[in-house]
Amino acid sequence: MNLSSSFSQAGSLVRVNAFIRSVYNWMAIGLGLTALTAFYVATTPALLQFIFGNQLVLFGMIIGELGMVFYLSARVQKMSASTATALFVFYSILNGATLASIFIIYTASSIASTFIACALTFGACSIYGMVTKRDLTSMGGFLMMGLMGIIIASLVNMFFRSPGVSMVISYVGVLVFVGLTAYDTQKLKQMALTQPADASGAMVRKGAIMGALSLYLDFINLFIMLLHIFGVSRD
């Protein structure tokens, strides 16, 4: 191996590490904003009443969240890095407001213990996705089918309200989001490796924001599924 090749590989490794670090930093910021917002709303009766006392407001916020995810995913290449960042931050706050209900439904100790379990599980899966030599691409289609199945089953169960079906959805959801965490992490590693050396700062920032959004969604959904299984109700 010649000297120029060694320098090239070293430079590539530095770029990959910087990109991955940026992704996890933004994911952590998003999770922090979500947690703080959820706690603030849960301890503010007026906001609780405004959001959860009116179904139109709650469903409007949920639809807004979905719209922001789809819009950011589809248009990120055509928007500025600052706009993409602002949308991610706003989405994290909005999601925190709708997740405030967990502080009403579950005990604080079960939320904390479930969060720790989720963080450890997420970390292990993410590390696996980063270091494994196995190509996880083939898992992507299967996992997306599982995700669609969860969404459809959850929508149907909104009308039947079956605790048994809800529990099955939660167990399947844990498996799906564990797989998606490893899959999305490997995708991010590949994205970092294939980024051109002369990529602009804005392009790198937008890539990091989209990566953070993917891992953020994996973490939040895994946490919710685990909370449905292990959470202790206040009732």
Confidence of residue 8 (pLDDT cuts 50, 70, 90): very low
- State the number of CA atoms in the 13 A half-sphere of 106 facing the CB: 22
- On whether the pTM is more than 0.85, the answer is yes
CA–CA distance, 76 with 214 (Å, rounded to integer) = 13
Confidence of residue 172 (pLDDT cuts 50, 70, 90): very high
Q: Is 206 left (phi over 0), alpha (psi -120 to 50) or beta?
A: alpha
User: What type of residue sits at position 154?
Assistant: S
pLDDT digits (tens, 9 = 90+) for 187-224: 998 888 777 666 677 788 899 999 999 999 999 999 99
Give the domain ranges of the chain: 3-230
CA–CA distance, 222 with 218 (Å, rounded to integer) = 6
pLDDT digits (tens, 9 = 90+) for 34-63: 999 999 999 999 999 999 998 899 999 999
| Tokens standing for residue 221 | 């959904």
Sign of the Cα torsion 2, 8, 10, 12 reads negative
| Tokens standing for residue 133 | 């030599």
How far is the first Cα of the chain from the last one, in angstroms, to the nearest whole number?
A: 66
